[in-house]
Structure 1
Amino acid sequence: MNSDRQKILTDYISYIYTTGRTYDTIGKYIKHVTDFLEMAKEVNRRGYLNYKRENADVMVRHSLMCSAICDLLSFLNIGYGKREKTVKPLEKLDVISEKNKKLLHDFIIWLTDNNDYSPHTVDIYYTSLKQYFEYVNEINMENCKRFIRTLEEKSLSPQTIRLRITALEKFSKWLKKPIELKRPKTKRKLDVNNVPTEEEYNRLLDFLKTKSNKDYYFFIKVLGTTGARLSEFQQFTWEDIISGEVTLRGKGNKYRRFFFQKQLQQEAKAYAKEHGKTGIFAVGRFGPITQRGFSQHLKAWGKHCGIDSRKMHAHAFRHFFAKMFLKKNKDVIQLADLLGHGSVDTTRIYLQKSYDEQKRDFNRNVTW
């Protein structure tokens, strides 16, 4: 690749990270654009069309290839855009074929034997593929696009369609016929009015400190200072917290490092030594805590402390951590890493302000 094209690639990479696409999509776009810049004779419409003809076999397997190159040309103000073909929805079949029933069965067995997915995730994959085979007998790009169109005609939510696409891509990869599909865009929303305030968080900690069993004080302290999901929180040990950090596998089988406050380390070390605490951290009276059991405790504590019950769930403290971090440090990219987000766009929802904050800022600034 010559220096001019290297400059184009460098500028494009800087641009694409501002588009809000997921890291996975960005990585694929960069790969396709790099291949194009290395191999195409011309960086223009004609060069793109010739490149498509020469790489038709690649294009069939990677639907994002054309989108990535068109995005590059648009970025360069060449203005070439790919016209979308009209995709017709499908009609339901009478029955699922025996062949596809067996394929689906074998795929689910493979999922459970070779992957560490939760039963809920496996059920989503099963439901998605069963629905697909109710409409078509073969898995290929054309059928997948028409299936997605069918789901859109049924007015399914973008989130549900994205789940169906994930299942289809996983299944096609298992078949060794990988397919990539465009996902519908969704706007991330966060009701910032349902996140505990700093005063409410401290009030809750002060209350839990008065209880004879201070384990729950540490539970809230860890949730509020790490931004961990409950599934990740359930994996922590007392030794992890005392050591100051741990790397765990979290959502989407991705590994993520967690840090623990120095003050929290010291408090936990003294408490663990006094009460003989070792091993799994999140343990209640009857064993490891469950989402339901912990939620019931939170509601009761919130009622005692005068905190709205809508703020009393484990995930609210993940939102609390994000809001507090951005209050001290405006680095959204660093927060995305700390939270384990695949896209900075997901993290930007925490820049929203609550009703009270908006009203206060309005009264402070609108004085004319």
Structure 2
Amino acid sequence: MKDFELYLRKAGLAENTVRSYLYGIRVFLSNYELKMEDLFEYKGYLLDNFKPKTVNLRLQGINKYLTFIGQEDLKLKFVKIQQKPFLEDVISHADYLFLKRMLKKEGNLKWHFVVWFLGATGARVSELIKLKIEHVEVGYFDIYSKGGKMRRLYIPKNLRTSCQKWLDVENRHSGYLFLNKFGQPITARGIAQQLKNYANKYQLDTNVVYPHSFRHLFAKNFLAKHNDIALLADLMGHESIETTRIYLRKTATEQQAIIDKVVNW
């Protein structure tokens, strides 16, 4: 860490910036490993608990460190700073159902269930890749954060039942739920890339077909069916209910539809 500190100081960064970067790196290294799955998980944690400006500051520190150690291929993208009065880049419920239906129709059940689990559980992609068949059998997955907090990821009954039928046909009764072609747990990057491939194949907007988009969809659908924002905050693993309030907003498309319907003067 001393060498990294010297690297930052030689770059002429302000003292507060150096301290901020060093603090962020220490937090990351004490809780996560330097691999893409953990970097995605860390970014998800930041997005759920901090404002975009703070998220980008932490990501900038991580990226500086990755450059320092020669791992630039792991660098993370920053988030958009501007706060808009609507949700954007969220897959519509219709497109979610269409994607599920097309994957099932073509017999691509593994990816049918990847999409279904993302949309029906609110799981982060870093959590989805850790799901095991045993979790499907009991109906939930207890996730322990690095700080010792526990969040329960529930698997809805209809999803659980359908998934168990698929697993029975596959003759799989234990181990990780989603495997790649080599029989290893699928990666977060693999899921993100494959979703883009299917978006292109089925002519869906690639800007809204990405893992975290389905988490947004879960939250919006939950509030539409069961207007309990405090419960949703618990289900999403948000430390502050203020973070969850964004899901009370409409998407830009929904706002336009409401205006078209309501404003006739």
TM-score by length of 1: 0.51
Aligned equivalents of 2:84, 2:137: Cα separation in 1? 35
CA distance in 2, matches of 1:345, 1:306: 35
Once the two structures are TM-superposed, the CA of residue 187 in structure 1 deviates from its matched residue by 7.8
> Hey, what does 1:333 align to over in structure 2?
230
Higher Cα radius of gyration: 1
Q: Which has the higher contact order (CA 8 A, sep 6+)?
A: 2
CA RMSD of aligned residues (A): 3.4
> What do the CA deviations read for 1:63-103 (whole angstroms, capped 9, x no partner)?
xxxxxxxxxxxxxxxxxxxxxxxxxxxxx7999xxxxxxxx
Q: Spell out the pairing of 1:1-368 with structure 2 (5 A cutoff).
A: 115-119=30-34, 157-161=53-57, 192-250=87-145, 254-277=149-172, 278-286=174-182, 287-368=184-265
Deviates most, 331-340 or 213-222: 213-222
User: Helix, strand or coil: the match of 1:349?
Assistant: helix
**Once the two structures are superposed, what CA deviation does each residue of 1:302-351 show, in whole Å capped at 9, x if it has no partner?**
11222100112111111111111111122111111100001111111111
Contact 1:224/1:317 (<8 A) preserved: yes
For the residues of structure 2 that align with 1:298 and 1:338, how far apart are their CA atoms? 24
> Any idea what SS the aligned residue of 1:258 has?
strand
Alignment check: 8 A CA contact 2:88 2:252 kept: yes
2:90–2:214 CA contact under 8 A, matched in 1: yes
Aligned partner of 2:67 in structure 1 is none
User: Is the 2:86–2:250 contact (alpha carbons within 8 Å) kept by the matching residues of 1?
Assistant: no
- Calculate the TM-score normalised by the size of structure 2: 0.69
Instruction: Quote the Cα distance in structure 2 between the aligned partners of 1:94 and 1:237.
Output: 45
Quick one: structure 1 residues 282 and 251, their matched pair in 2 at CA, closer, same or farther if it must change by over 3 Å?
farther
Deviation at 1:362, TM superposition (A): 1.5
Taking a change above 3 Å as real, the CA distance of residues 314 and 191 of structure 1, as seen in their structure-2 partners, is: farther
* Aligned counterparts of 1:160 and 1:328: Cα–Cα separation in 2: 33
Q: 1:158: how far off?
A: 3.8
Quote the Cα distance in structure 1 between the aligned partners of 2:87 and 2:99.
Answer: 19
Say which SS state the counterpart of residue 279 (structure 1) adopts. Answer: coil
SS at match of 1:206: helix
Secondary structure of the residue that 2:88 maps to in structure 1?
helix
- Identity among equivalent pairs (%): 33
Contact 1:238 1:268 in 2 (8 A): no
Q: Distance in 2 between matches of 1:261 and 1:94?
A: 51
The one-letter amino acid of 2:178's match is: A
The count of residues paired between Structure 1 and Structure 2 equals 212
Structure 1: segments with no counterpart, 5+ residues: 1-91, 96-103, 124-156, 166-185
Aligned to 2:207, what secondary structure does the other structure show?
helix
Evaluate the alpha carbon distance shift between residue 310 and residue 164 of structure 1 in structure 2; reply closer, same or farther with a 3 A threshold: closer
Query: C-alpha distance in 2, partners of 1:364/1:252?
Result: 47
C-alpha distance after superposition, 1:158-181 (max 9, x if no partner): 43557899xxxxxxxxxxxxxxxx
Q: Find the aligned partners of 1:236 and 1:308 in 2 and give their Cα distance.
A: 27
Contact 1:245 1:257 in 2 (8 A): yes
Give the C-alpha shift of residue 291 in structure 1. Answer: 2.2
**Residue pair 2:87, 2:246 contacting (<8 A) in 1 also:** no
Deviation at 1:201, TM superposition (A): 0.5
Alignment CA distance shift 1:188-1:318 (3 Å):
farther
Quote the Cα distance in structure 2 between the aligned partners of 1:288 and 1:189.
Answer: 37
Task: String of CA shifts for 1:243-294, please: whole Å, max 9, x gaps.
Answer: 2112122476532101111111111111111111221012111321122221
